[in-house]
Structure 1
Amino acid sequence: MKNHNIRPLESRDLERARYLVGENEMFPPEMLEDMTAPFFENDPDQRWVVFDDGAVDGIAYYLPEQMAEGVWNLLMIAVDPKRHGQGLGTQLMRFVEAELAAAGNRILLVDTSGKDEFERTRSFYDMLGYDREACIRDYWTSGDDKVTFRKVLT
């Protein structure tokens, strides 16, 4: 899928990526250096892309599932909160889906929290046509379920 606003992450984007991760409370931003290191060392299984229309306002990270044929897992997507609701997340997701489908991959999985404050996130995946495939109670912490979404790509 061609999208001129979406490109691979570059090392010069890391400061902005840390901001996006922190503002969206994804994980401690200081973890980003170690997480992206394999990508910058050209690990073919590491995929990091950014939405850049003059500023890097979105980022996505996805990997193949181990021991599963053609199954990938979106581990992170974050958009600048000032730009939520403007379609950047949808464009990133459509890019990821199209790229994976074009390479013959079958399924994309996404995990998120079952907490009330993640209802908007779950609704986002519902809107994109993902199926709520599983719920593992108390996965992240006691009282915080893991909700797994699944989308067939081919």
Structure 2
Amino acid sequence: MSTVRRTIRSIPYRDSVATWRFITALLTQGKNATAAVELEAVAGVAASVIGDGSMRQAPIVVTCDGPRTRLYCTYDEDALDEAEASEDALGFDPLKGDWAVSLPCQAEDLEWVQRALAGSSKRITARDAAEGFEVADSAAAATSNALTLNLEGLLK
């Protein structure tokens, strides 16, 4: 599985709401109105997570039927330095097929953020920023469901 990284300039270059709107535009590429509505429905919660600096520790992770996208945010002086940023458009549809967005969140806020997101979206979730992010590898999943041959039984 390939992974693409982008680093988005946030506070003070953009406020947290403008950062989320930039991320929404980056992900939807102006083509996916349905996804844009879903991403906009969680704008307040996402802006809160961005505002608390959770992306200092961990990225927003976007999964789809294509490459995984990791979105990091820079803050303070780093956000003002354009050399730290990589905000170019993505060369693929990051919301292709069965997509999901995982927002990193501070542990003390995780419960309310998860509850708030669940009320607006099934595809956009939150995780503890200190934990990391795992998705079952499709090759490993395929192997675990593969047919196994019992040679000993066959030869009897």
TM-score with structure 1 length normalisation? 0.30
Greater fraction of residues in helix: 2
TM-score by length of 2: 0.29
